[in-house]
Structure 1
Amino acid sequence: MTPTLGRFENTFNVDLENELVRHLKDLDNRFLPVNKKEFLTLAYDLAEHFKLQHQFSKTKKTAGNKFYCGFINRHPEFSLRSAQSTNLQRAQGFNKKQVEAFFEKLENLMEKYSFSPSRIFNCDETGVSVVHSNALKVLS
């Protein structure tokens, strides 16, 4: 038997936590970062889905602040940052480098999921906000 410090263990094993990290980075790369509340709800849902023993709040259906602090300590590449407003993103994002990156990602997704161009839809974004308010911090 090997001794352990403290009476609590991590909710997620290394593989599952690495999958959570990969998912957060994937969302961030798609310009859809999550805020702290969404992250804690995601962690709770993941633990419930895999029926893991956890200390998360079943009434609030979220992980706690201690889980969040431990996660950030284990993964210092993440931090809370202010979301940029839509107009600033559009002004900075519409340049040759960003457009090329967009089409490269589109091409990779088309190859990965084998969908035809007829499955790509142009939607009116009026009333649909994909950017968090400036007062809200996101994990990035």
Structure 2
Amino acid sequence: MQKRLFGLTLKELRKLAYQLAVRNGCEHPFNKDTEMAGEDWAHSFMRCHSELSLRKPEATSGSRAMGFNRVAVAQFFTLLNKVIIEKKITCERIYNCDETGITVIPKQHSRVIANRGQHQVGVLTSAERGNTVTAEICCSAAGNFMPPLLIFPRQKKRQ
């Protein structure tokens, strides 16, 4: 589920454990009122499965998740390589610009279960809402840096 950007929270894991126990007709000490396994069961489960850990996911929009795939990345680098060779571009003229949006309305996500050692854990969200300030940093392949750039939301001009 985590690879598809739908990680399980501990609460969802506890509900799933209860449903599986009931569906398979297993004897269980789980709470029938809340229809969930207990917190102690969830912590024991996590201890038994040391490859799993609780992590805070990063918000990932659906369109970004759909557009970033092996075919699209391969096409990009094929085209990039063709242009660099054709135009004889040197490393001093190749810049990488990385941007990040810093939201002024922070959102907290519940921690989800993921494989231990995974650097990034995502969670699918709808399109970003609220104002964001964009921070950009550029450096060349030769190691030259440009000063950081902050882009603030535009303000409507009063006439």
Which TM-score applies when normalising by structure 2?
Answer: 0.44
Higher strand share: 2
Structure of higher CA gyration radius: 2
Greater RCO between the two (CA within 8 Å, min separation 6)?
1
Question: So what's the TM-score if we normalise by structure 1?
Answer: 0.49
